[in-house]
Amino acid sequence: MDETVAEYIRRTVLKIPRDEIKVMLQKWGFLSEAQLQTLNFHQIKDNISQEVVQLCEENSADIKQAAVLDIIYNHIYQNKRMWSVYQMKKTGEELEYFDITDFKKKFKRRLRSALQNVTITFKEYEDNAIWIRVAWGTPYKKPNQYKPSYVVYHSQTPYVFISSSVLKSTLPLLCQALIVASNYHDIREMELRSHSLNSLKDIVFKRYSQNFQTCTPKPLEGGNVEPENADIRIVEENRSEKERIHRLNQEVFGSGPQPKLEFAQYRLETMFKSDPKMDVLDKKEPFRCLIKFSSPHLLESLKSLAPAGMADAPLSPLLTCIPHKARNYFKIREKKGLYPESFVSP
């Protein structure tokens, strides 16, 4: 077995928390149940990893198998990576039957034609998701297994989730391979990023609960507005106002839990407006400024702003449109028209 493969497997095992190593190896399925029995999981991780490498040596593992283990690890710890959503477009409306083997073949062929030294690994999951791991090399160097790209593609949808390699130059190649393999014509980044892959899926597949104006508003349940142990000595003066805030919040955010995003970023490229008489900063240059909101759970924080009395309800649509528009990176530019405050997508 190649030493680099052994080392790669060893390091991957070291990343896994000790009490999960066994389960993950079972999922991997490369080592037989009998082999797994021989492993002692009650020792320091370093030793476990050595033993695992030894067993793999017996089975003469190659980089393909090692890469599968890596995908399994990343599938479980997907929140450790930053994911970005891409959308693909077709010109026509031709509906095609999606064939997975065909997809794989085209994807590989396309990448290999551009770069020989790549490791490409696929793994399919139950929810129609195809996980692709690509480790990149150069024409003269073997693929660097420690800096791979991960792609999660749901067939039948135009969306791709990419956690790209630190080797930035590889991204165009990857995108090209993707559109060729899935019969699309164009791909673009949606400016939607998060650590939580599932939340991104919830947003683009519109899976999170969302109340739209068209829905018949439920009769206001007391649950959220009125405290359970209402003390008659405490009188809420602004109950109706609170109910209004609650209603507005429901309309905008829905009643369910919000998808998890960590930040939203607004790049302002608007003109500075001042009294023409003052004649300061009256330049045609845009006033550049970057505003970044960050939180462990941004949408939930935004949702609780108004009820917590930290902002007026309703919130600015700039903040509330994130899930609808499926993006958390914005560029706000001067609009040519009448409404300088509304924003234009690039």
Footprint of other proteins (CB under 8 A): 7, 44, 46, 227, 231, 233-238, 240-242, 307-311
Report DSSP letters for 174-185, one per residue.
HHHHHHHHTT-S
CB of 308 vs other proteins, minimal distance in Å? 6
- Can you tell me the distance from the alpha carbon of 60 to that of 135, in angstroms, rounded to the nearest whole number? 21
Nearer to other proteins, 7 or 102 (CB): 7
Nearer to other proteins, 200 or 302 (CB): 302
- Best CA proximity match to 162, nearest among 171, 258, 92, 271: 171
CB of 191 vs other proteins, minimal distance in Å? 29
CB of 12 vs other proteins, minimal distance in Å? 16
CB of 70 vs other proteins, minimal distance in Å? 19
Yes or no: say if 75 and 131 are a contact pair by the CB < 8 Å rule: yes
CB of 40 vs other proteins, minimal distance in Å? 17
Nearer to other proteins, 172 or 296 (CB): 296
CB of 233 vs other proteins, minimal distance in Å? 5
Tokens of 116: 């020989």
- Can you tell me the distance from the alpha carbon of 322 to that of 299, in angstroms, rounded to the nearest whole number? 8
- Can you tell me the distance from the alpha carbon of 126 to that of 154, in angstroms, rounded to the nearest whole number? 11
Nearer to other proteins, 37 or 229 (CB): 229
Phi, psi angle pair for 86, to nearest 5°: -120, 145
CB of 15 vs other proteins, minimal distance in Å? 16
Q: Is 248 exposed, middle or buried (0-12, 13-18, 19+ CB in 10 A)?
A: middle
Nearer to other proteins, 95 or 235 (CB): 235
Nearer to other proteins, 44 or 280 (CB): 44
- Can you tell me the distance from the alpha carbon of 135 to that of 139, in angstroms, rounded to the nearest whole number? 13
CB of 50 vs other proteins, minimal distance in Å? 8
From the centroid of its chain, how far is CA 207? 14
Yes or no: say if 81 and 163 are a contact pair by the CB < 8 Å rule: yes
Residues sharing a CB contact under 8 Å with residue 259, sequence separation 6 or more, in sequence order: 194, 196, 199, 200, 202, 203, 208, 299, 323
DSSP 170: G
Nearer to other proteins, 235 or 290 (CB): 235
Nearer to other proteins, 66 or 192 (CB): 66
The 10 Å Cβ neighbour count of residue 217 is 10
Q: Determine the 3-state secondary structure of 107 from DSSP.
A: helix
Nearer to other proteins, 193 or 303 (CB): 303
CB of 215 vs other proteins, minimal distance in Å? 27
Residues sharing a CB contact under 8 Å with residue 126, sequence separation 6 or more, in sequence order: none
- Best CA proximity match to 304, nearest among 259, 250, 235: 250
